[in-house]
Amino acid sequence: MLYQNVCLEAISYTLPDEIVTSDEIEARLEPLYTRLKLPQGRLELMTGIRERRFWPPGMLPGEKSVESAEKALSAAGIDRRQVGALIHGSVCRDFLEPATACAVHHCLGLPEQCAVYDVSNACLGLMNGMVQAANMIELGQIRAGVVVGTESGRALVENTIRELNSNTSLTRNDIKLSIASLTIGSGSAAVVLCHRDLSRTGNRLLGGVVRANTDQCRLCQSGRDESADAQMQPLMRTDSETLMREGIAVGKLAFDDFLAELGWQRADINKTFCHQVGKAHQKLMFESLGLDPKIDYTTLEYLGNTGSVAAPMTAAIGIENGRLQKGDKVALMGIGSGINVIVLGLEWH
């Protein structure tokens, strides 16, 4: 995928106020830790995540998606009548039907002549949405698009704690499948893409690549669609070690494709923003890609794994903190269960 006419005009984020530390989660897991004689501090030690954040109980994801999208539209300064697509890309959504994007579109007051829909692809939903909006802009179908999403990790973490404490048949080996669920946090992000003729920033989205290895689609799975269950008690099982190994293998192939597609060398890349999983994953990924980890900007230490909003939210925070300089070539990378990979290239002005 190569784009001549697409600019990333604004990227924004919204964070929950409630902070939950890994130490607090371990304190709640005291029955499990006592029964299996597990040492305190292992959760942060294994993942590099000291805390994550949660939205208030009962909050619908669409509410915060409206807030993040309002911030992005305000920063972009684009006439809302120019917005031709509103894509909601998070795993979390308000209802099975209609699309969460419908309520967000309504609250934002966007045009009726606007494509409005949800995209679901585990941790890559927002990046998929960015590709779709960019394609529509490049084809001349729309002038601008908004991609937004909000992830809420409270239910998954709390239900995982409840399951680990109550199921006394679990062994040390069994609980490995639940560790990834305890790293999940909450957050919201929005991206405004537009045609370069509308852009005030000139921040070009140059293109990117996708790659999949669906032989590994069962390495990280929730149960059946818990959204259909009035009790809303999601659980997830993740073979973290195998998923990390296989994901990085697909990521390396995708990254080689990406360099060839954009005509870049590794040394051309000044900064990266990636999907946030854990410290071990980041270290192995950058070793595999042959990149210096110092060019990466991370938020996982204090936000945890925030799913589909992780990469764009981290980028928004990094940009806000002055991470990018004029002329930087930036790689935005995501590896999601499935396994799917997206790598996008930006030229920052």
Q: Which two tokens stand for residue 178?
A: 């639940």
Q: Which two tokens stand for residue 268?
A: 């051309």
Residue 87, exposed/middle/buried by CB under 10 A (0-12, 13-18, 19+)? buried
Q: Which two tokens stand for residue 174?
A: 């069994």
- Is 97 catalytic? The answer is yes
CA atoms within 13 A of residue 230's CA, in its CB half-sphere: 0
- CA–CA gap between residue 185 and residue 153 (Å, rounded): 5
Q: Do the Cβ atoms of 71 and 319 come closer than 8 Å?
A: no
DSSP 8-class letter at 20: E
Q: Are strands 187-195 and 144-151 parallel, antiparallel or unpaired?
A: antiparallel
Partners of 209 in the beta sheet?
A: 343
- Is 9 catalytic? The answer is no
What's the Rg (C-alpha) of the chain? 20
Cβ-Cβ contacts under 8 Å for 112 (sequence gap 6 or more): none
Among residues 123, 194, 220, 274, which one is catalytic?
123
Residues with catalytic function: 97, 123
